Amino acid sequence: MQFYNPEYFLSFWLLPLLIFLFVLAIRRKLNRKRLFGNLKTIDRISNFSERDWKLRAVAVCLAIVFALFALLRPQWGEEKKKLKRKGVDVIFLLDTSLSMLAADAKPNRIEKAKMEIKSFVKQLKGDRVGLIPFAGSSFLQCPLTLDYAAFFLFLDSVNVGYIPDPGSSLADALNNAIQSFPKDEKKFRVAIVFSDGEFHGEDVEPSLKKALEEGVHIYAAGVGTKEGEPIPLRAGKNKVVGYKKDSSGQVVISKLNAELLSKLANESGGMYFPATPAEREVDLIYQDMQKLGKKEFKEKLLTEKEDHYQGFLFIGLLFLFYLLFTEGRLKKTNSMEILG
């Protein structure tokens, strides 16, 4: 089994909070009832008993659990489809240098970049995607593919420090991308750079010239702010033990350098945008990319994982219907008990 939207696993932390609130509410209700007399007698003349509250609390929690599983889009089994594809080839260049740990983009620059790449890929239809992480060097992490779920698995594995070579060499990443495109036609090629632009005087002119010769359109999203942030140094995954300092002992402030990214994009026929919380730049790049046209490919047999979110969604809806129908039934039952 695999999940098409694994980022929704983060939403499961709401369940313990919800259970805590239900327990708190039930206890408050019981304490108030005790002020008026015997609990069994009070239950007979009130709308809901303690048991009713517990059943409804369980139903709410289960409805949320199954709804979240539906959002995760669980997939298993295989489905074979004949696909006649039209599209472009898109390679994402993801900066993994140390400065991408700065938190002026939330939760930090590299995680923000990964979220935007996922948002972009989810809009694509029939376009192949590839991934090149880069720091002081680069490599083709995911060759061009139509299997977006597999692409997301590769993307999720990339983090700062993934490439041991220090620095940030965009020129090397561009050269790698150019070599990774098919050689048969110099059209329908897109490279999208996600970086803070801190390349420290690197000469990218030869790589830009080569990209123009090979028909590669470069788009760029600048991740970070002009004001900048210190670069945290971590022990383990979460613990910050300090901040990067220069040779004089001063804390380094990493700032977004939009000039080089903008130059690359504009001179290659692409566009540059700063990354924003609303991710509007993803839509703008996607819309502009449609102007490049789409190459028609031969029909091929494609094997895809089957979606099974429908069953989880159906069960979640059943629990919601249970909540709606039992409310009226419980009130009616309690009214009959009082009359009896």
pLDDT grade for 35, boundaries at 50, 70 and 90? low
- Asked whether 59 and 330 are in contact (CB, 8 A), the reply is no
pLDDT in tens, 36-53: 655 565 555 555 556 776
Res. 321 pLDDT band, cuts 50 70 90:
confident
E-strand ranges in 272-338 read: 272-274, 295-296, 300-307
∠ CA(280), CA(99), CA(177), 5° rounding?
A: 65
Looking at this protein, which amino acid is placed at residue 4?
Answer: Y
Other Cβ atoms within 10 Å of 173 Cβ, number: 27
Yes or no: say if 151 and 89 are a contact pair by the CB < 8 Å rule.
no
What was the pLDDT predicted at 335?
46
Q: How many helices (H) and strands (E) does the chain have?
A: 10, 15
Structure tokens at 320: 């919601």
- For residue 69, the tally of other CB atoms under 10 A from its CB is 20
pLDDT the model gives residue 186: 74
In contact, 198 and 161? CB cutoff 8 Å: no
Q: Which of 77-86, 121-130, 188-197, 314-323 has the lowest average pLDDT?
A: 77-86
Q: Of 1, 33, 62, nearest to 315 (Cα)?
A: 62
Structure tokens given for 242: 């300090």
Q: 85-296 in CATH: which number? A: 3.40.50.410
Please state the domain extents for the chain: 2-78+307-339, 85-296
If you write DSSP's letter for every residue of 18-65 in order, what string do you get? HHHHHHHHHHHHHHHHHTTS-HHHHHHHSS--HHHHHHHHHHHHHHHH
Model confidence at 270, pLDDT cuts 50, 70, 90, reads very high
Model confidence pLDDT, tens digit, residues 52-74: 767 877 888 888 889 888 888 88
- Per 3-state DSSP, the chain is made up of helix, strand and coil in percentages (nearest 5) of 45, 20, 30
Asked if omega into 230 is within 30° of 0 (cis), the reply is: no
Q: Are 330 and 47 in contact (CB under 8 A)?
A: yes
pLDDT at site 189? 92
Task: Summarize pLDDT for 190-239 with one digit per residue, the tens.
Answer: 999 999 998 876 788 999 999 999 999 999 999 999 999 999 987 766 67
Query: Half-sphere exposure of residue 41, counting CA atoms within 13 Å on the CB side?
Result: 5
101-105, 260-264, 291-295, 328-332: the lowest-pLDDT one: 328-332
When the pLDDT of each residue in the chain is averaged and rounded to a whole number, the result is 84
Q: Rounded to an integer, what is the distance from CA 106 to the centroid of its chain?
A: 12
Task: Give CA–CA dist 305/151, Å, rounded.
Answer: 14
Question: Is the pLDDT reported for residue 337 higher than 50?
Answer: no
